[in-house]
Amino acid sequence: MISCVDEVDLNIDTEQRTLVVDGFISDGGGDFQVSLLNSSVIGVGRDNILDPVPNATVNLLDSNGASFPYEEIEDGVYELKSFDAARGVAYSIDIMLSDGRHFQSKPDVIRSGSAIENISYSVETQSFRNTIGQITEEEVISVLLQTDITGFEDPPYLRWRIDGEYLLSENYRGAITVKQCFVKTNIDLNEIRIFDTSTLAGNELFDQVINETTFNFRFAEQFCYHIQQFSISEDEFVYWNNIKQIIEVDGGLFDPPPGTLVGNIVNVDDPSDIAVGYFSVASLSSQRAFVKANDLDLFVSALCEIRFGREEPFGCRECLDVALSSAEKPEYWVF
């Protein structure tokens, strides 16, 4: 059998590596991190894997002429300790890479923040198609938020980030001494939750869904939502909204490419060297919300519940084997 194959030139620069920047500061006070990564070389071994960028010099600059240095705590991760951004001061990130490239973000100021007023939950059954094409049903917990924007001269733009953490108690046949672990889990991966409050009819945002996660054993003992609400600039809102639209597009290989999304970080010496990402300067309102199955009138077995004929689940004999787990009880964990 003989067939012809037309060569398609996708016009991809396989040698180009783009700096990816992820970080923010706020008036919430505390330690702030910036991650620096390089995009992979397309077609060479590790497509879609980002490589950390070590040995950079990173500083936070303000409009008063002050400079605050970041310390590299691991490859590609830089931390600014015990910092609290002030109102009326413009801040930017300054990044000098080991290869001499010099990047800065556009200066920005902290805006008035909107406080989280109430957190509630809803549970519904959703249908999914599994890896072999079958339709399955799962219970999904939605986190709903209420916030007041009364008193704002200009309605704010809001963005939410949520991290999860759950209690895991060891248990196995013949156990004499067991311990508990506190396991962090990423529950907003690839989720961009933003809102333009100028579209509201009133001054109150009710029942805004800011997260959806599968209901499972993590809610058996205790689950903690770490909720952050950012009041961001219009430019940042537009940036994340563009990314959100690209993520949600169901396109094909030969659809028009979305183009390069330009954030607020530029190479000060070479405008053609475009960085990806956004360094956010935002007001922050944060809250922790604890919930478990009983609170939702639901039931789920604990991961390590002993049942006849059941294979012992991973982590039930040594919960520290579970990724991102710690046996040290956080000070905020009051249960």
More confident residue, 193 or 2: 193
Residue 165 has pLDDT above 90, yes or no: yes
Distance CA 283, CA 112 (A): 7
Give the mean model confidence (pLDDT) for residues 13-30: 81
Beta-carbon contacts of 251 under 8 Å, excluding residues fewer than 6 positions away, are: none
Cβ-contact 21, 9 below 8 angstroms:
no
Q: Which of 4-13, 89-98, 235-244, 318-327 is predicted least confidently?
A: 4-13
What pLDDT score does 309 carry? 83
pLDDT (tens digit per residue) in 141-163: 999 999 988 777 777 899 999 99
Output the pTM of the full model.
0.84
pLDDT (tens digit per residue) in 179-197: 999 999 999 877 899 999 9
Give the mean model confidence (pLDDT) for residues 296-322: 94
What pLDDT score does 249 carry? 67
What pLDDT score does 128 carry? 80
pLDDT (tens digit per residue) in 211-222: 999 999 999 999
Q: Which amino acid is at 285?
A: S
What does the mean pLDDT of the chain come to? 87
More confident residue, 273 or 59: 59
What pLDDT score does 172 carry? 94
Give the mean model confidence (pLDDT) for residues 59-73: 97
What pLDDT score does 16 carry? 58
Query: Residue ranges per domain, the chain?
Result: 19-111+234-282, 116-232+286-326
Residue 76 has pLDDT above 80, yes or no: yes
In this prediction, residue 112 has a pLDDT band, given cuts at 50, 70 and 90, of confident
pLDDT (tens digit per residue) in 222-271: 999 999 999 999 999 999 998 888 877 654 444 444 556 778 999 999 98
Q: Which of 126-130, 137-141, 169-173, 240-244 is predicted least confidently?
A: 126-130
What pLDDT score does 120 carry? 96
Question: In terms of C-beta distances under 8 Å and separation of at least 24 residues, what long-range contacts does 75-80 make, across chains too?
Answer: 76/35, 76/36, 76/37, 76/51, 76/52, 77/33, 77/34, 77/35, 77/36, 77/52, 78/23, 78/33, 78/34, 78/35, 78/36, 79/31, 79/32, 79/33, 79/34, 80/25, 80/31, 80/32, 80/33, 80/34
More confident residue, 224 or 273: 224
Beta-carbon contacts of 204 under 8 Å, excluding residues fewer than 6 positions away, are: 146, 147, 148, 149, 150
What pLDDT score does 15 carry? 53
More confident residue, 282 or 247: 282
Question: What are phi and psi for residue 221, nearest 5 degrees?
Answer: -105, -55
In this prediction, residue 89 has a pLDDT band, given cuts at 50, 70 and 90, of very high
More confident residue, 17 or 220: 220
What pLDDT score does 8 carry? 41
In this prediction, residue 297 has a pLDDT band, given cuts at 50, 70 and 90, of very high
What pLDDT score does 334 carry? 84
Q: Which of 36-40, 133-137, 138-142, 251-255 is predicted least confidently?
A: 251-255
What pLDDT score does 14 carry? 44
Residue 170 has pLDDT above 80, yes or no: yes
What pLDDT score does 268 carry? 96
Q: Which amino acid is at 104?
A: Q
